[in-house]
Structure 1
């Protein structure tokens, strides 16, 4: 039995991961800003209230309070940095506060939590599982901040992987494509409110439960990376091999984004 911390656990991929870990008999510590959602999750899984942590990761004080509470846990075997946010807006019409919020939740919060929990993860020779995105490997029109945050996330934890190898910490970077979860339904628009235009996708939209199962298998094998959507991985290769062609195809595929100005 392992002790698992999951952020963004009340819905989407986080909830699918919580269920998958629970089915294997692990102890869960769930984090989300949605208090009512966490309560529903605890009722389904039979969790004690002490294993629920309500925190908005966009808020500095709440992140600090969360980190302090988690460091009081006697054992942490796995930190799953799943909570995330995206936007659908062109750079030229986006309030800088949107960029700040996306970078804070998608990059800074995972960095701060992992740094705070390093002593416990070293003691358990545990794992950090980061939900990245193929948007961190290639540009996606209308998601400049999201692409930047996921790229920074990957780079930070690749360095951390090398630094913590001697302490036995395992780092798994997961690079999914588009998922049928709330992250896109709750995407920010350029004004900081909810995006009002339909999202564009590439390579279809996957479901959370199969991805959660694949993540657990990769974790158990202590794999460094998981690329669950091979078609999107091939698109990232196109970006490196023929960037001009990639840009042409991207502008065509995501043309709806260019209409938002």
Structure 2
């Protein structure tokens, strides 16, 4: 029996991961701040192998309730997928610092803290952690300063944690997707913390969440350490390192709508 805990499971990539894990026979503990949608998703999958615990992933008390549910309902935890995330679309110079704090809390602090709290269970099962990062953690994306900072922090934290957990037999996969067709962008924050009112700019192809979920689980099953699913974004990250001035010119042209006017 494989027990999988997925955060941000009600929509987008989290929901596609939940569907795929359920289809392969996993027992699931799903959490999301959108309680109504989460309950509907769990009803769709059926209660036999699924439990829902809605809540704010930045709340440490929710972390404890999730881990208690893993032990009490399923007796173990084999796979923790840190998927919950939030973004913003706003120039750094015009953004309320509260937006940056919120993005950092959801995208970095919450997955780091939940993973550390889950380590006793993961050590018992010699389990696995999946952290959903972003190519924005590797290269600057205009209008996403807080998101880039949070995903960069997430990547560095889990890269270090992987090495520290090696002797415990706990495996760790970092996923670096680019632009996906998910609700994270539809719910992006604006400069004042309310929903962003302008369309997003993108680089490369906008990928389907189901496609991303399949690649992620395949990489986890193969015990890979990193997944760069989008070749175009990976090449863009190389351009940023090798020719940063050219990268900035291209980015500024592509993301003109994100710049202050």
For Structure 1 versus Structure 2, the TM-score category normalised by the shorter chain is over 0.9
- Structure 2 Cα separation of the partners of residues 210 and 50 of structure 1: 23
Decide whether aligned partners of structure 1 residues 198 and 80 sit closer, same or farther in structure 2, where only a CA change above 3 A counts.
same
Matched with 2:81 is 80
Residues 152/251 of structure 1: CA separation in 2 closer, same or farther (3 Å cut): same
Give me the whole-angstrom Cα distance separating, in 2, the residues matched to 1:50 and 1:216: 18
Aligned residue pairs, count: 260
Change over 3 Å in CA distance of 1:102–1:3 after alignment to 2 = same
What runs of 5+ residues in structure 2 fail to find an aligned partner?
Answer: none
Asked if structure 2 preserves the Cα contact closer than 8 Å seen for 1:87 and 1:195, the reply is: yes
8 Å contact 1:56–1:63 — kept in the other structure?
no
Task: Say whether the 8 Å CA contact 1:202–1:232 is kept in structure 2.
Answer: yes
Q: Structure 1 residues 191, 232: CA separation in 2 closer, same or farther (over 3 Å shift)?
A: same
- Quote the offset at 1:45 in angstroms: 0.6
Structure 1 runs (4+) greater than 4 angstroms displaced:
59-73
* SS of match in other structure, 2:207: coil
Is contact 1:71-1:116 (8 Å) kept? no
* Structure 2 counterpart of 1:218: 219
Three-state SS of the structure 2 residue aligned to 1:30 is strand
CA-to-aligned-CA distance 1:91-143 (integer Å, 9 cap, x gap): 11100100000000000000110000001111111110011000000000000
Change (3 A) 1:112 1:45: same
- Distance in 2 between residues matched to 1:193 and 1:154, nearest whole Å: 27
Q: Distance in 2 between matches of 1:109 and 1:190?
A: 22
How far the C-alpha of 1:42 sits from its partner, in A, is 1.1
Q: How far does residue 222 in structure 1 lie from its aligned partner after superposition? A: 0.5
Pairing 1:243–2:244 present:
yes
**Is this contact kept in 1: 2:29–2:53, CA < 8 A?**
yes
- Aligned residue number for residue 13 of structure 1: 13
Deviation at 1:39, TM superposition (A): 1.1
Name the structure 2 match of 1:186. Answer: 187
Task: Work out the CA distance in 1 between the residues paired with 2:123 and 2:62.
Answer: 25
Separation (CA, whole Å) in 2 of partners of 1:60 and 1:117: 12
Equivalent residues in 2 for 1:137-152, closer than 5 Å: 137-152=138-153
Contact 1:71–1:117 (CA<8 Å) still a contact in 2? no
**How big is the alpha-carbon RMSD for the aligned residues of Structure 1 and Structure 2?**
1.6
Query: Quick one: distance in 2 between partners of 1:59 and 1:225?
Result: 28
Kept in 2: contact 1:9–1:30 (CA 8 A): yes
Partners of 1:79 and 1:128 within 8 A in 2: yes
Is 47-56 or 224-233 further displaced after alignment?
A: 47-56
Tell me how far apart the structure 1 counterparts of residues 67 and 170 of structure 2 sit (CA, whole Å).
19
**Shift, 1:243, TM fit:** 0.6
TM-score calculated relative to the size of structure 2: 0.95
Question: Cα distance, 1:56 vs. partner?
Answer: 1.1
1:74 Cα offset (Å): 2.3
